[in-house]
Amino acid sequence: MGGRMSGTASGAPRRQRADAVANRARVLAAAREVFTERGGRASLNEVAKRAAVGPGTVYRHFPTLQALLVDLVRGDVERVCQRGRELATHEDPDTGLRIWLREFAAHACAMQGLLAAQLAVEFAPGDGNALAACHDALVATAGELLDRSKRSGTTPPTVDAPDLLRLVNAIAWASQQAPDDTDLIDRLLAISLGVGAARPQPSGSL
């Protein structure tokens, strides 16, 4: 009898854990849809409705919008940083930096520019901000590419990584205001950056 009770008791927590994992995955999938559609106008309550769960379920897993956002973009940020590590060996330091900044701008445009707006926040060391680690990883990647461009390319020594990312975030935001202008990011980068940024190549060119 004791064994049967033990099995029942141990089965309930396992089912609860499985339900919690399934709910969390459903919330993340719904959040990506809602943020992509509505950007900064999205709310956790709207995510809960899309995921077909109660608001309490969303808040239990993600107490703030930033906590939810960082869970969505953590993998994306790692991929952007990995791309930066690859480009750190590019034969032309200016080109490597320019390519990465263009890819970072595309990343910042995700979710209707919501990520760009969140990453534009000034993060104080140790303030516990949910996006601080993502922000720090991106700044470190930009810094590595920037230092290389300063040493062997054309970037002025006074440019620093946080300011450069603020600039590209602003370019990403501007591109969101003109979604039909597909070349706007490239043009603004070419105007803004003294790092060998070039205009986009005509279609079909090598």
| Residue extents of the structural domains in the chain | 1-63, 65-197
Does 65-197 match 1-63 at the fold level?
yes
Distance CA 158, CA 130 (A): 30
Q: What is the pLDDT of residue 64?
A: 84
Q: Residue 28's pLDDT is what?
A: 92
Kindly report the pTM of this predicted structure: 0.74
pLDDT band at 15 (very low <50, low <70, confident <90, very high): low
Q: Would you call 32 helix, strand, or coil by DSSP?
A: helix
CATH class of 1-63: mainly alpha
Q: Specify the fold of 65-197.
A: Tetracycline Repressor; domain 2 (1.10.357)
The token pair at 105 is: 């701008």
Please choose, from the candidates 61, 64, 26, 24, the residue with its C-alpha nearest in 3D space to the C-alpha of residue 44.
64
pLDDT in tens, 117-144: 776 666 666 566 667 888 889 999 999 9
Average pLDDT, rounded, for the chain: 82
